[in-house]
Amino acid sequence: MSGIPEELMLKEHQRLHTTLRLIQIHCSKILYPLTLKPGGGRDSSKILHKTRENVHFKK
């Protein structure tokens, strides 16, 4: 860590954070319509939450 200027690390961190955010938005745009059922209010959010958990823990 000591050899890398802090400014450079901060820029890289922001870049990675932005990339991650874009991926999350992209995934939710794909996943969200899949969870919507006709007349599904609470159920759809439950499914979406489960899907997010699965994605989070599969490493």
Query: For the whole model, what pTM was predicted?
Result: 0.43
43, 44, 49, 53: CA torsion to nearest 10: 100
Residue predicted with more confidence, 35 or 1: 35
pLDDT at 31 over 70: yes
Q: Look at residue 59 in the predicted model and tell me its pLDDT.
A: 44
Q: Compute the average pLDDT of residues 30-45.
A: 61
What is the pLDDT confidence band of residue 3, given thresholds at 50, 70 and 90? confident
Q: Compute the average pLDDT of residues 23-47.
A: 67
